[in-house]
Chain A
Amino acid sequence: MNSYLALAILMLLAATVFMLPLIPALVELRRKSDALPLSVIQQHAGEIRHFADSFRSYIKELETLLRESLHSRAAVFGTLPDGTDYLVLGCGDEALRLPLKEENGLCPLLIATNSNLRLPSHIKFSKDIYAGGQFVGGAKNQYRAILGEKTVHLSAASRVMRWVHAMGEFEADSDCELHGRISSDRGIRLQKPCSFQRLNAPRIEIGAPASDLPSSVSDHAAALITTRRLLHDGDFSIPPGETFLGNLVVRGKLLIGSGAKVQGSAKGDKGVILEAGVTVDGSLMSANQMQIGSNCNIHGPVIAERQMVIERGTRCGAVDQPTTVSAPWIDVEEGVVVFGTLWARELGQVAAKS
Chain B
Amino acid sequence: MIYVLYVIISLICIYTARHYWFTLNRLFAFQRHPYIDIDTADWPPVTILVAAHNEEKVVANILVALMAVKYPADKMLVVPVNDRSTDRTREIIDEFVARFPDRIRPFHRTNGKGGKAAALKDAMELVDTEVILIFDADYIPGAGLVRQLTAPFFDPEVGGVMGRVVPMNCGTNLLTRLLDLERSGGYQVDQQARMNLRLVPQHGGTVAGVRLSALREIGGWNDNSLTEDTDLTYRLLLHGWKTVYQNRSECYEEVPETWPVRIKQIMRWAKGHNQAMMTYGLHLLFGKHRACLRERIDGTLLLGVYVMAPITLLGWALALAVFYEGIAPLHGVIALLSITAYATIGNLAAFFEIAAAVRLDGNRHRICLLPFLILGFTVSIFSVSRAAFSQVKDALTGAEFHWDKTERFRKAAS
Q: Is A225 an interface residue when CB atoms closer than 8 A count as contact?
A: yes
Nearest CB of B to A24, in Å: 4
Are A38 and B143 neighbours in the complex by a CB distance under 8 Å? no
Q: Is A14 an interface residue when CB atoms closer than 8 A count as contact?
A: no
Are A21 and B177 neighbours in the complex by a CB distance under 8 Å? no
Binds B, one of A26-34, A52-60, A152-160: A26-34
**Which residues on B sit within 8 Å (CB–CB) of A229?**
156, 213
Are B144 and A283 neighbours in the complex by a CB distance under 8 Å? no
**Which residues on B sit within 8 Å (CB–CB) of A282?**
154, 156
Nearest-neighbor residue (CB-CB) of A250 within chain B: B157
Are B143 and A249 neighbours in the complex by a CB distance under 8 Å? no
Are A345 and B366 neighbours in the complex by a CB distance under 8 Å? no
Are A45 and B156 neighbours in the complex by a CB distance under 8 Å? no
Nearest-neighbor residue (CB-CB) of B249 within chain A: A40
Are A25 and B371 neighbours in the complex by a CB distance under 8 Å? yes
Are A266 and B368 neighbours in the complex by a CB distance under 8 Å? no
Give Cα distance in the complex from A269 to B168, angstroms: 37
Nearest CB of B to A188, in Å: 13
Are B142 and A43 neighbours in the complex by a CB distance under 8 Å? yes
Given A34-B365, A224-B44, A267-B157, decide whether A301 and B143 contact each other with a Cβ distance below 8 A: no
Nearest CB of B to A219, in Å: 12
Q: Is B70 an interface residue when CB atoms closer than 8 A count as contact?
A: yes
Q: Is A322 an interface residue when CB atoms closer than 8 A count as contact?
A: yes
Query: Scoring B residues 220 to 240 as 1 if CB is less than 8 Å from chain A, else 0, what string do you get?
Result: 000000000000000000001
Q: Is A97 an interface residue when CB atoms closer than 8 A count as contact?
A: no
**Which residues on A sit within 8 Å (CB–CB) of B361?**
38
Which of B39, B69, B140 is within 8 Å of A324, CB to CB? B39
Are A45 and B41 neighbours in the complex by a CB distance under 8 Å? no
Nearest CB of B to A34, in Å: 4
Query: Scoring B residues 137 to 151 as 1 if CB is less than 8 Å from chain A, else 0, what string do you get?
Result: 000101110010001
Which of A22, A37, A343 is within 8 Å of B170, CB to CB? A37
Q: Is B153 an interface residue when CB atoms closer than 8 A count as contact?
A: yes
- Which residues of A (1-54) have their CB < 8 Å from a CB of B? 21-22, 24-25, 27-29, 31-38, 40-48
Which of B251, B252, B363 is within 8 Å of A34, CB to CB? B363
**Which residues on A sit within 8 Å (CB–CB) of B37?**
303, 324, 326, 341, 343, 345
Query: Scoring B residues 330 to 343 as 1 if CB is less than 8 Å from chain A, else 0, what string do you get?
Result: 00000000000000
Nearest CB of A to B159, in Å: 10
Query: Scoring B residues 18 to 36 as 1 if CB is less than 8 Å from chain A, else 0, what string do you get?
Result: 0000000000000010110
Query: Scoring A residues 258 to 269 as 1 if CB is less than 8 Å from chain B, else 0, what string do you get?
Result: 000000111101
Q: Is A213 an interface residue when CB atoms closer than 8 A count as contact?
A: no
Nearest CB of B to A185, in Å: 13
Which of A25, A46, A200, A249 is within 8 Å of B372, CB to CB? A25
**Which residues on A sit within 8 Å (CB–CB) of B371?**
21-22, 25
**Which residues on A sit within 8 Å (CB–CB) of B177?**
29, 35
Nearest-neighbor residue (CB-CB) of B198 within chain A: A287
Q: Is B283 an interface residue when CB atoms closer than 8 A count as contact?
A: no
Are B147 and A38 neighbours in the complex by a CB distance under 8 Å? no
Nearest CB of B to A228, in Å: 9
Q: Is A331 an interface residue when CB atoms closer than 8 A count as contact?
A: no
Which of B140, B144, B171, B180 is within 8 Å of A45, CB to CB? B144
Are B35 and A303 neighbours in the complex by a CB distance under 8 Å? yes
Nearest CB of B to A183, in Å: 11
**Which residues on B sit within 8 Å (CB–CB) of A27?**
368
Which of A44, A251, A283, A323 is within 8 Å of B155, CB to CB? A283
Give Cα distance in the complex from A292 to B365, angstroms: 49
Which of A43, A247, A305, A343 is within 8 Å of B143, CB to CB? A43
Query: Scoring A residues 203 to 237 as 1 if CB is less than 8 Å from chain B, else 0, what string do you get?
Result: 00000000000000000011011010101010000
Are B366 and A35 neighbours in the complex by a CB distance under 8 Å? yes
Interface size on A, residues (CB 8 A): 61
Are A42 and B142 neighbours in the complex by a CB distance under 8 Å? yes
Are B156 and A283 neighbours in the complex by a CB distance under 8 Å? yes
Given A29-B174, A40-B251, decide whether A283 and B154 contact each other with a Cβ distance below 8 A: yes
Give Cα distance in the complex from A43 to B371, angstroms: 35
Interface extent on B, as a size class? Answer: 35 or more
Which of B38, B70, B170, B365 is within 8 Å of A303, CB to CB? B38
Give Cα distance in the complex from A265 to B42, angstroms: 14
- Which residues of B (58-76) have their CB < 8 Å from a CB of A? 65, 69-70
Which of B39, B144, B171 is within 8 Å of A32, CB to CB? B171
Which of A45, A227, A266 is within 8 Å of B147, CB to CB? A45
**Which residues on A sit within 8 Å (CB–CB) of B292?**
251
Nearest CB of B to A341, in Å: 4
Which of A21, A37, A340 is within 8 Å of B40, CB to CB? A340
Are A224 and B368 neighbours in the complex by a CB distance under 8 Å? no
Are B41 and A322 neighbours in the complex by a CB distance under 8 Å? yes
Which of B140, B156, B198, B370 is within 8 Å of A266, CB to CB? B156
Which of A46, A221, A224 is within 8 Å of B39, CB to CB? A46
Q: Is A187 an interface residue when CB atoms closer than 8 A count as contact?
A: no
Nearest-neighbor residue (CB-CB) of B172 within chain A: A35
Are B166 and A37 neighbours in the complex by a CB distance under 8 Å? yes
**Which residues on B sit within 8 Å (CB–CB) of A38?**
166, 184, 250, 361, 363
Are B364 and A37 neighbours in the complex by a CB distance under 8 Å? no
Q: Is B290 an interface residue when CB atoms closer than 8 A count as contact?
A: yes
Q: Is B282 an interface residue when CB atoms closer than 8 A count as contact?
A: no
Give Cα distance in the complex from A265 to B370, angstroms: 46
Q: Is B407 an interface residue when CB atoms closer than 8 A count as contact?
A: no
Q: Is B346 an interface residue when CB atoms closer than 8 A count as contact?
A: no
Nearest CB of A to B256, in Å: 15
Give Cα distance in the complex from A29 to B251, angstroms: 25
Nearest CB of A to B124, in Å: 15
Give Cα distance in the complex from A266 to B157, angstroms: 9
Q: Is A321 an interface residue when CB atoms closer than 8 A count as contact?
A: yes
Give Cα distance in the complex from A48 to B144, angstroms: 12
Nearest CB of A to B13, in Å: 25
A-B contact pairs, 10 of them (CB 8 A): A22-B372, A42-B65, A42-B252, A44-B70, A46-B144, A222-B44, A285-B154, A285-B156, A322-B41, A324-B41
Known contacts A35-B170, A233-B290, A303-B155; 9 additional CB pairs below 8 A are A25-B371, A40-B142, A221-B42, A227-B213, A282-B156, A321-B42, A324-B37, A326-B37, A326-B38
**Which 9 A-B residue pairings sit nearest by Cβ, starting from the closest?**
A45-B144, A35-B171, A34-B365, A247-B156, A340-B40, A326-B37, A227-B213, A28-B368, A283-B154
